[in-house]
Amino acid sequence: MGIVAGLDSSPDFTRIVVCDADTGAVLKQGYAPHPVEGRPSDVDPQAWLLSLGEAAGGGLLEGVQAIGVSAQQNAVVPLDAQGNTVRPALVGSDKRAQVAAADLVDALGGREAWAQAVGCVPQAAQPVTKLRWLVKNEPDAALRTAVLLQAHDWLVWQLLGRPVRRTTDRGGASGTGYWSAATGGYRTDLVELALGHQAMLPEVIGPSDAAGTTPEGLLISAGTGETMAAAFGLGIGLGDAVVSLGASGSVTAVHPEALVDNTGMITSLADATGMHLPVVTTLNAVRTLRGAAELLGLSDLESLSELAMKSTPGSHGLVLLPYLEGERTPHLPHTAGTLAGLRRESMKAEHLARAAFEGMLCGLADALDVLRGRGVEVRRVFLLGAAAELAAVQSAAPAIFGAQVVVPQPADYAALGAARQAAWALGVSQGALDPRTPPAWQGAAAQILEPGEELAVGQAVRQQFVSVREQTHPGAFRA
């Protein structure tokens, strides 16, 4: 079909991959950091354009026929009636908005009301919450806000020359807090609840639709959020889940329908293909490991992993409930971590190190079980993040998760997903692809880990963890 490009504008940088549209083979790459110090909560979106221009330098996009855009989620760009930014974009997990999130939950009648309305409960990071914060703290800016875009919407709009028509996709819309993946429609009443008045929202177009074509003839696909683009780049499908190991953790799976969860533990997102991506988040993943390393006087996670491998499954009875920052799954926002099972023979550094890994993985297994309990099939678990390379993670994860574990080689999966979306839109425009079937690109190169004979041992470790959790926080998982 030709050559396509995928652009990922993350919180820190822009990455561009240029791919063969038929196979997905990467032909060229570009990279540039955003010209922004650190990770501020307010960013002039022009910074994203500057790094885009730098990443695309040297003729990187010569011969490219279509481009897809992936960008950081939860960034809201408020525009005035003329299309100018009212203030810098509100980005990231903005702790300033925690009070605003609680206000919104109460204003609609509680967590269950939000889950029923849009499939998620407002968190500090979400655009809907940031709108409420804006009203409370910058009322003049809120009053001047006439149009609401997210990061990938704004970048697509800029690449197309700021046309009258503004677009987004299902994936991006589903993270706003004012679009429902279940109904496929906006809840404009929730925009008004948060912002105090109505604002123009981008048109939600289909996964294989084009947002438009530049005057030079470059086709721009719908674009999507980073989570959806990475899932598309990995090539996950029904039966697959993705466990992301960051400071906090997330479990995402592919499902044919939107899930409404009255407890609010499941965030019901849409994906980049027409399917759904229910997500369950834990607040404590790699931060658990870093805390254990510091406690044991170790300088890095590799040393913690080496120490943990000197212990045995079950950590000699030590169980760490890793709720160091409180927890979202289960909903225990004000709790702390618990170390149980202390005996004289278990009070060794290697057992504590192992308990940190097992506690983190069991917490993520709890999140997987939330999805399984709602009928989501999980046959394979893709494990992402630098910590996925650690021996202590790889040795324990398959048996604790009770599934085959796939550790993909590091790659720019969000940019690859954006490029695959561009190839889909290009193929449909040429009549070469079905609008319901994305191009069949080769899947990610990966290491495959099977639970094998360790499955029973891993499930015993899980049961040990669950017993301590139930004793310490009875009924935490009951709605």
Q: What is the pLDDT of residues 161-217, one digit of tens each?
A: 999 999 999 999 999 999 999 999 999 999 999 999 999 999 999 999 999 999 899
Burial bucket for residue 425 (CB in 10 Å: 0-12, 13-18, 19+)? buried
CA 167 centroid distance within chain:
21
Distance CA 234, CA 74 (A): 22
pLDDT above 60 for 479: no
Residue 382 near residue 343, CB atoms below 8 Å: no
- Structure confidence at residue 1 (pLDDT): 73
Contacts of 245 (CB under 8 A, 6+ apart): 285, 286, 360, 383, 384, 385, 386, 387, 388, 393
- Structure confidence at residue 340 (pLDDT): 97
- Structure confidence at residue 187 (pLDDT): 97
- Which of the residue ranges 76-85, 414-423, 439-448, 465-474 would you say has the lowest mean pLDDT? 439-448
- Which of the residue ranges 60-64, 265-269, 304-308, 313-317 would you say has the lowest mean pLDDT? 265-269
Average pLDDT, the chain: 95
| Block residue for tokens 């470790």 | 461
291: phi > 0 → left, psi -120 to 50 → alpha, else beta; which? alpha
275 C-beta neighbours (distance < 10 Å), count? 18
Counting every residue written for the chain, the total comes to 479
At 246, which amino acid appears?
G
238 C-beta neighbours (distance < 10 Å), count? 12
At 383, which amino acid appears?
L
pLDDT above 70 for 463: yes
Residue 181 near residue 276, CB atoms below 8 Å: yes
Task: Cis check for the bond before 11: say yes or no (omega within 30 of 0).
Answer: no
Q: What is the pLDDT of residues 131-167, one digit of tens each?
A: 999 999 999 999 999 999 999 999 999 999 999 999 9
Would the pTM of this model clear 0.85, i.e. be above it? yes
Phi/psi at 167 (5° precision): -130, 165
pLDDT above 80 for 442: yes
The C-alpha angle 288, 227, 380, rounded to 5 degrees, equals 70
- Structure confidence at residue 174 (pLDDT): 96
Residue 224 near residue 272, CB atoms below 8 Å: yes
Q: What is the pLDDT of residues 69-83, one digit of tens each?
A: 999 999 999 999 999
Closest CA to 427 of 437, 442, 414, 413: 437
pLDDT above 80 for 52: yes
Q: What is the mean pLDDT of residues 369-378?
A: 95
| Block residue for tokens 């906090």 | 248
Q: How far is CA 56 from CA 8, 272, 312, 412, in A?
A: 12, 24, 50, 16
pLDDT above 60 for 471: yes
